[in-house]
Amino acid sequence: MTPGTTPSAPTALSGARVLVLRPESRARGLLTALAEAGATGQAVAVTAVRPPSDRASLDSAVLALAAGDYDWVGFTSVNAVEAVTERARTLRLDPAIPADTRVAAVGPATAAATHALDIPVDLVPTGAGSADALAEIWPAAGHGESVLLPQSELADDTLVDLLTAKGFRVVRVGAYVVEPVPLPATVAADLADGRYDAVVLTAGSVVQALTGSRPALGTVLVSLGEPTARVARRAGLTPVVADRPTDDGLMAALVAALEERRRR
């Protein structure tokens, strides 16, 4: 410690062991924040992103997007941003998204990934990122306006239905497939034995990948957002939902949930 500085006050995270179900490359900010709070964070990927089963349809959609055939493109995940821009690079399309095509992002992480590629974002909801929140702030369609939604092949119809109800012609294309990856045996054993104080659930696909590797009773579960929490509840889990789909939001939810567990 630097002379003259005051150590941070301990929190419920001091000494805690937290399992973050996300690839380490996308969990670095949260892992750093956990370490600064005195916790031990471990990032483990339980899903892998694969190309879509119908890559030709994705290429056709990316070509049409670059040609200006859509008024809007809506990104509902970082994976969707990466899938579209990767295919655009392969097809030598520059820019991938014309300047007059408006861009919507489901939440701050997706918006940040889009900005990192020098793609301006016109629409992003504040607070929790979800299809419902995005559709709520999406303006009603002008005459004949269209939206391209590149999504996971397993995405539900929520955003398609909500935007169709606002008058848009919505085209959804499978941009990627998410496949489960088994937990390492040591991690699964520690999870079952209660050696993690908390687990961070970052997507519905992550919850589905945990089938057969249930956390021990008393393990705190924190969900990145309400859509992930809904999947967790259907699986018989009871997560605390972060009020913001950000590292700060997850940290606040972890502290509150661990403090509540300590009081009990």
Q: What is the pLDDT of residue 7?
A: 42
CA distance 105 to 121: 7
Average pLDDT, the chain: 92
Give the tens place of pLDDT for each residue, 186-239.
Answer: 999 999 999 999 999 998 889 988 877 889 999 999 998 888 899 999 999 999
Query: Do 17-46+181-263 and 50-177 fold alike per CATH?
Result: yes
Of 212, 158, 151, 142, give the one whose Cα is nearest residue 177: 151
Angle formed by the axes of helices 28-36 and 247-263, nearest 10°: 40
Give the tens place of pLDDT for each residue, 60-89.
Answer: 999 999 999 999 999 999 999 999 999 999
| Class of the CATH-defined domain 17-46+181-263 | alpha beta
Contact between 185 and 5 (Cβ < 8 Å): no
pLDDT level of residue 6 (50, 70, 90 thresholds): very low
pLDDT at 4 over 90: no
pLDDT at 9 over 80: no
Give the tens place of pLDDT for each residue, 18-77.
Answer: 999 999 988 999 999 999 999 999 999 999 999 999 999 999 999 999 999 999 999 999
Q: What is the Cβ-side half-sphere exposure of residue 101, based on CA atoms within 13 angstroms?
A: 22
Give the tens place of pLDDT for each residue, 252-264.
Answer: 999 999 999 988 7
Domains of the chain, by residue range, sit at: 17-46+181-263, 50-177
Strands in 47-50's sheet, in edge-to-edge order, are 47-50, 169-180, 146-152, 72-75, 102-105
Q: What is the pLDDT of residue 2?
A: 43
Q: In the chain, helix, strand, coil percent, each to 5?
A: 40, 20, 40
Q: Does the domain at residues 50-177 carry the CATH identifier 3.30.70.100?
A: no
Q: What is the pLDDT of residue 89?
A: 97
